[in-house]
Amino acid sequence: MLRGFTTVTFFADDLDAARAWYSALFGIEPYFVRDSAYLEWRVGDHQNEFGILNSRFAPHPHRPEASGAIVYWAVDDVEATYRRLLELGATEHDKPTERGPGYVTASVLDPFGNVLGVMFNQHYRDVLKACGGTSNVQE
């Protein structure tokens, strides 16, 4: 089940330049930094996550038709959702991968060539809980 948007990920070859530019735009520094690999800010009224991933980690760096920004939908079970998307005719883009404690991502190409990401995201669950929402996953 798609619960809502969780993270938008862009790609950049120069993380230092991307950090400077987006920090100036948002007026804050990233809250999460994985040196030479990933930056993430929480911005806006709902603390939406915006990430910059070093382009060398793009799922298919030599396939421009399978690259660009990835919008991740929050799901309770990445593996099950990923399998369901493949059953519906999507093709593999990036297999389910743990990105750190509480964060698992995967992405597919839908039948129309769009990248669709799914993510189990602890931050999304924390915000949902704070707003009185529920999750189907046991704590």
Residue-wise pLDDT tens digits, 56-89: 887 765 555 555 678 888 899 999 999 999 999 9
The domain that holds 67 is classified in CATH as: 3.10.180.10
Q: Is residue 43 part of a domain?
A: yes
Integer angstrom CA distances of residue 137 from 43, 99, 101: 26, 19, 16
Per residue in 82-135, pLDDT (tens digit) is 999 999 999 999 999 998 888 899 998 887 677 889 999 888 788 778 877 665
pTM over 0.85: no
Q: Is residue 138 part of a domain?
A: no
- Residue 9 and residue 45: Cα distance in Å, rounded? 18
Phi-psi region of 27 (alpha: psi -120 to 50; beta: other; left: phi over 0): left
Number of structural domains in the chain: 1
